[in-house]
Structure formats: structure tokens, C-alpha cells
Amino acid sequence: ARQRTLAERLRRLEDKRIPGDLDYAQVKNLSSEGIEKLSRVRPRTLGQAARIPGISQADLAILMVFLKGKV
């Protein structure tokens, strides 16, 4: 149920923009793998980030909360 709720929220936030200059290392609690992959790919939206292989749902949730606090 929790994963379904997260998936529904991610669908709603598919087009949520990620600042191009975001330093993922400054996003607390992101996994090392998440930081590495997000920094390399530099997705423009949360939806693009969700499609990066190796990015966990936990990393997406953390990024989603971080972005909500910024905008």
C-alpha cells in the first residue's frame, strides 16, 4: 500500500522540475548510488529521475520531499 501511494504521488509529480544546478550531495539521506546516478544523468524532472536504473523509491521520496521544501 505504501509503495502504491508513493507511485501515485510520483505520477502526480511526474513533471515536477528539478533545478539544473541542484547539488545532490546536499540532499540529506540520499543513497550514495542515488547521488552518483542523479549527478551523472542530471534529470530535469522527477519523472525522468524515476526512470534512472538504480534509483530507489526511497531516493525518489527523499528528492520529492526536498523539492517540495524548495519550491
Give the pLDDT of residue 13.
Answer: 77
- What is the span of the domain harbouring residue 59? 2-70
Count how many domains the chain has.
1
What CATH number does residue 22 fall under?
Answer: 1.10.150.570
Question: Amino acid letter at 11?
Answer: R
Write down the pTM of the prediction.
Answer: 0.80
pLDDT tens, position by position, 8-63: 776 777 888 999 999 999 999 999 999 999 999 999 999 999 999 999 999 999 99
pLDDT tens, position by position, 16-29: 899 999 999 999 99
* Rounded-to-integer distance, Cα 6 and Cα 42, Å: 22
